[in-house]
Amino acid sequence: MKRSWIISLLATLLILGGGIAGVFYVMDTVQKDVTVSAVLNQPPAEDEKEGEVPKETQEIIFESQKLVVQLELEDGSVGSGFLYNDQGDIITNAHVVANTESVNVITSDGKKLPGNVIGVSRDIDVAVVRVPGLKGKEPLPIREENSAELLDEVLALGSPLGLQNTVTRGEISGLERTLDIEPFHYKNLYQISAPISPGNSGGPLLDRETGEVIGINSAKMDDESIGFSIPVADVLPMVRRWSESPMRSLPEFPELTGEVYSPVTGTDAEQASYMVQYFYDSINQGDFVTAYSLLSASWQEDISFEDFRSGYNNTLSVKVDNLVADPQGDMVEVTAFLTAEETVDGEVQMKKYKVVYPVKKENQSVKIWSGSGEELSAEQEETAS
């Protein structure tokens, strides 16, 4: 009797123990499941924010333009290109650098650097130019696969100093298009509604949400509203081979001999207006280094970078309301009407200004030579508008 009671007691304890363990197991398992589900409703972690939250369009344009360059040949023809690796290699169109081995590369801040063509295709309108002066610079992010879809929003960029259609917005309006423009065969193209001009040739096509390069702007129809871009993922293996092992001899393009693609740099007035606008775009982005680089050497001698930067300590933002360009001999006088958001004695105030900038070339680069301005009264504001 005693023995049977002990066995019964042990069995009961085992059952209770198993039940308690089961309860804790279920609670633990359910807790984990609930936690996993709840994460979907929680704010993303910092790392996730950086990788998944789309950039603002303005930021994408501003940051990307710094890595888009203008290519200039001895015959006067120009095109665009973009930095795709940290070796200083620029992707562009083959027709931009056809029949040449070296080019001048002009960066967004007006620096002119030598570049050498290290790869060019006679079949696909793609080439690579190596620019030693850009080695070590972080390149544009590139999408490694063709995942673009119809109606995806895109940005077509050309050289920041090629003024017409510098940045155009649009969407992918067609896929897998095919064109033959001698001597090149274009296939699997993106058809885009973002206009492309000759100055955009070789520039990047960006995903508007992520800022990734998805294509190389290459051709357009007579209708300026239809452009075509080569998917960059299709040519990455080829351009990487050139970067690893540059071509010993470059193919010739006799069918393109004598053809000069017209520079798309705009008039002197357009160029001067662009530089002033670019100056304030840089200020608004907090990129005072780029803004300072747009000033002439003589102006930089009169004001140090530290003093230039401190002059904007109380400025929250600046909006360019209007630009008026007045060509005067070898320079253009640009009058800018501005709305500035400033902090004054701890309070935010909106002020209107009129600033006059003489703009002209310095060592083949357009520079802002000086500036003088005044705050506008209410009456002057009405006149300016």
pLDDT tens profile 333-384: 999 999 999 998 889 999 999 999 999 888 767 789 999 989 987 655 555 5
Q: What is the pLDDT of residue 364?
A: 63
Q: Has residue 188 got a pLDDT over 70? A: yes
Q: Report the distance separating Cα 272 and Cα 293, nearest Å.
A: 15
Domains and CATH numbers, the chain: 66-139+238-256 (2.40.10.10), 268-375 (3.10.450.50)
With b for 16 or more beta-carbon neighbours within 10 A and e for fewer, the 194-228 pattern comes to bbbbbbbbbbbbbbbeebbbbbbbbbbeeeeebbb
Residue 344, beta-bridge partner list:
347
Tell me what the pLDDT averaged over the chain comes to. Answer: 79
Contact 189, 146 (CB under 8 A): no
Contact predicate 88/132, CB 8 Å: yes
Q: Which residue has the tokens 């090149």?
A: 184
What is the predicted pLDDT for the residue at 286? Answer: 84
Between 66 and 281, the higher pLDDT residue:
66
**Who has greater pLDDT, 159 or 309?**
309
**pLDDT above 70 (res 23):** no
Confidence of residue 8 (pLDDT cuts 50, 70, 90): very low
Rounded distance between C-alpha atoms, residue 257 and residue 335, angstroms: 43
Residues marked as catalytic: 95, 125, 201
Instruction: Report the range of poorest mean pLDDT among 20-34, 81-95, 155-169.
Output: 20-34
pLDDT band for position 275 (cuts 50, 70, 90): confident
If you search the block for the tokens 């009456």, which residue do you land on?
A: 379
pTM of the model: 0.65
Rounded distance, CA 179 to CA 185, Å? 6
